[in-house]
Chain A
Amino acid sequence: MSALRAFRIFAGEAFRDGLRRRLAFAVALVLLIGLAGAQTCTQFGTGTIDVNGEAVDGNVIGGFLAPLLFGFQAWAVLAIAGLLAADHLARPLAEGSAVLWLARPVSRHTWVLARLAGALGVALLCGAALLGGTGAMLVLRQGVAIEPALLAAAATALGAVVVATFAMAASLAVGRSAVVLIVLLALAFVAFSNGTGLATELAHPEVGVGGLVGAVDRYGPPLFTAIAGAVARWNPHVDTGDTFQHAMIRLGLWAAAGVALLLSMFRSREIES
């Protein structure tokens, strides 16, 4: 059997497994709430809006609203990727159902990558619905360009790979609750660091952010820098230059490192039977 065929079989099972889980209901709920939020936030349309007695063009508000809304939805997609990956590999190993798969003539790498693909498949399906729905509402109602939405969706997808691989690797070392906590805290801290770094660069480019926040922003996975670099294009008052391109390259390196770490940790793991 070819590794590709085995991967397709395993990935299909992992995807169905992801859809069957109770967490899928929570994901569906997040989707509904997210889309309902996008529906509410994009209702005012284009034209002139009265803000504290001053007429403000709807497009200007859209230029601020769209990045915030899209950024928040992207954060939800990254969180979903991390939460799904938190036990998508560890659970079949702990339950013991993995031994039957691994006793077949397939490599461990094939199986672990397929589990990753299954978790990512569910997260990205959710992301496509959430970001696609939000992007469509923003484009159709606020009249913003579609390109930033597509770039931000690509950044979110690459970010989801980073989050899922590290969450899965962590799940081989610690329990599910700990992984969930780590994922949520890390996402919050990276968002804060990236946001601080980007805001400082825009407002005071001569000043660098120091400490842990600065280090995470400079060397950590630029999950939100990439998304912000894309959606900032909606705001004509903000120029982020080539932030998006640089952040995507760094994200790609982090994704590769995450996959390498996951494969390395799983290769040396003993399988209980």
Chain B
Amino acid sequence: MPQGTSVGLLGANGAGKTTALRLLLGFARPSRGAARLQGADPFDPASRRGVGYLPERLRLPPGVTLERFLSVHAALAGLAGADLVREVESVTETTGVRDRLQEPVDGLSKGLAQRAGFAQALLGRPAVLLLDEPTSGLDPLGVRDARAWTSAARARGATVLVSSHVLSEVERTCDHVVILREGRVVASGALEMLVQPGESLEDLFVRAVGGGSATGPPDSEDGA
């Protein structure tokens, strides 16, 4: 992934999108090939320095207030003291959960929990954002906000990898796409290069996933 770009990771169910993110975070080992995050082996903790992650199935720890949850993650992101307090205030203000700081995170509604998840991913202004189905559970206003948060991260130079089923969102927020089919990259590159004139991202997706080859040559034939 070129630094500072926003890449949409697309594919049908079971194509390997979440697995790709798990490989990048060192949650699983590749059966073949290798994964690199910020140029380092994902099993090296240093590879995750400056990385914000929002999982698809967000599970927040029980019995912890949102403030505590975010403070701990801010500390793990390397913040301390007044910087930590300011950052927690800043991300909760941005994501619209500032007034929920004293509530237990496991009691938040799905949409608010997703916002809390976004807040923890944005802590410490990460250089790399890994977002797995980031708009899941968000209402239309939340989806719009999520788009704004992602764009703001990109505007300050962050590299964003978004795994999503929502093609319209990817089309609006990403400048590059990678399309997976059964664990293999079947198309990848800049959107304007892959999508032919008069064609939509959906057309490209159907072409790539439905069996035909996409216009751009695959970047990699290695399995995920």
Instruction: Give me 16 other A-B pairs in contact (C-beta within 8 A), A9-B75, A95-B62, A99-B25 excluded.
Output: A1-B76, A5-B75, A6-B76, A9-B76, A96-B55, A99-B53, A100-B73, A102-B25, A103-B130, A104-B77, A105-B50, A106-B76, A107-B45, A273-B18, A273-B25, A273-B27
Are the CB atoms of B48 and A273 closer together than 8 Å?
no
Q: What are 28 A-to-B residue pairs whose CB atoms are below 8 Å?
A: A9-B72, A9-B75, A13-B61, A95-B59, A95-B61, A96-B55, A96-B57, A96-B59, A97-B60, A97-B62, A99-B53, A100-B60, A100-B73, A101-B76, A102-B25, A102-B26, A103-B53, A104-B48, A105-B46, A105-B48, A105-B49, A105-B50, A105-B78, A106-B45, A108-B26, A271-B27, A273-B18, A273-B21
Instruction: Tell me whether B112 is interfacial, beta carbon within 8 Å.
Output: no
Chain A hits for B60, CB < 8 A: 97, 100
Are the CB atoms of A102 and B27 closer together than 8 Å?
yes
Question: Nearest CB to that of B56 among chain A residues?
Answer: A273
Are the CB atoms of A273 and B76 closer together than 8 Å?
no
Are the CB atoms of B57 and A100 closer together than 8 Å?
no
Closest Cβ of chain B: how far from A226's Cβ, in Å? 36
Instruction: Tell me whether B207 is interfacial, beta carbon within 8 Å.
Output: no
Question: Nearest CB to that of A8 among chain B residues?
Answer: B75
Chain B hits for A99, CB < 8 A: 25, 27, 53, 55, 59
Instruction: Tell me whether B184 is interfacial, beta carbon within 8 Å.
Output: no
Chain A hits for B53, CB < 8 A: 99-100, 103
Are the CB atoms of A20 and B63 closer together than 8 Å?
yes
Instruction: Tell me whether A92 is interfacial, beta carbon within 8 Å.
Output: yes
Instruction: Tell me whether B120 is interfacial, beta carbon within 8 Å.
Output: yes
User: Which of B112-144 touch A at CB < 8 Å?
Assistant: 120, 130, 132
Closest Cβ of chain B: how far from A10's Cβ, in Å? 8
Chain A hits for B34, CB < 8 A: none
Q: How far is the CA of A97 from the CA of B60 in the complex (A)?
A: 5
Are the CB atoms of B72 and A105 closer together than 8 Å?
no
Instruction: Tell me whether B186 is interfacial, beta carbon within 8 Å.
Output: no
Q: How far is the CA of A92 from the CA of B60 in the complex (A)?
A: 10
Instruction: Tell me whether B155 is interfacial, beta carbon within 8 Å.
Output: no
User: Which of B25-56 touch A at CB < 8 Å?
Assistant: 25-29, 45-51, 53, 55-56
Q: How far is the CA of A102 from the CA of B51 in the complex (A)?
A: 11
Chain A hits for B73, CB < 8 A: 100, 104
Closest Cβ of chain B: how far from A236's Cβ, in Å? 50
Chain B hits for A270, CB < 8 A: 22, 27-29
Question: Nearest CB to that of B75 among chain A residues?
Answer: A9
Q: How far is the CA of A160 from the CA of B29 in the complex (A)?
A: 33
Q: How far is the CA of A6 from the CA of B59 in the complex (A)?
A: 21
Chain A hits for B18, CB < 8 A: 273
Closest Cβ of chain B: how far from A18's Cβ, in Å? 11
Closest Cβ of chain A: how far from B185's Cβ, in Å? 21
Most chain B CB within 10 A, of A13, A99, A100, is at: A100
User: Which of A72-97 touch B at CB < 8 Å?
Assistant: 92, 95-97
Closest Cβ of chain A: how far from B49's Cβ, in Å? 4
Question: Nearest CB to that of A271 among chain B residues?
Answer: B27
Are the CB atoms of A271 and B22 closer together than 8 Å?
yes
Closest Cβ of chain B: how far from A23's Cβ, in Å? 13
Are the CB atoms of A1 and B78 closer together than 8 Å?
yes
Question: Nearest CB to that of B78 among chain A residues?
Answer: A1
Are the CB atoms of A103 and B45 closer together than 8 Å?
no
Closest Cβ of chain A: how far from B3's Cβ, in Å? 18
Q: State the 8 A-B residue pairs at the shortest beta-carbon distance, nearest first.
A: A96-B59, A271-B27, A103-B53, A104-B76, A105-B49, A105-B48, A97-B61, A20-B63
Closest Cβ of chain A: how far from B107's Cβ, in Å? 14
Q: Determine which of B28, B50, B59 lies in contact with A271 in the assembled complex, contact meaning CB atoms within 8 Å.
A: B28
Question: Nearest CB to that of A106 among chain B residues?
Answer: B45
Q: How far is the CA of A85 from the CA of B106 in the complex (A)?
A: 22
Q: How far is the CA of A183 from the CA of B77 in the complex (A)?
A: 37
Q: How far is the CA of A108 from the CA of B77 in the complex (A)?
A: 16
Chain B hits for A1, CB < 8 A: 76, 78
B90-123 interface code vs A (CB 8 A; 1 in, 0 out)? 0000000000000000000000000000001000
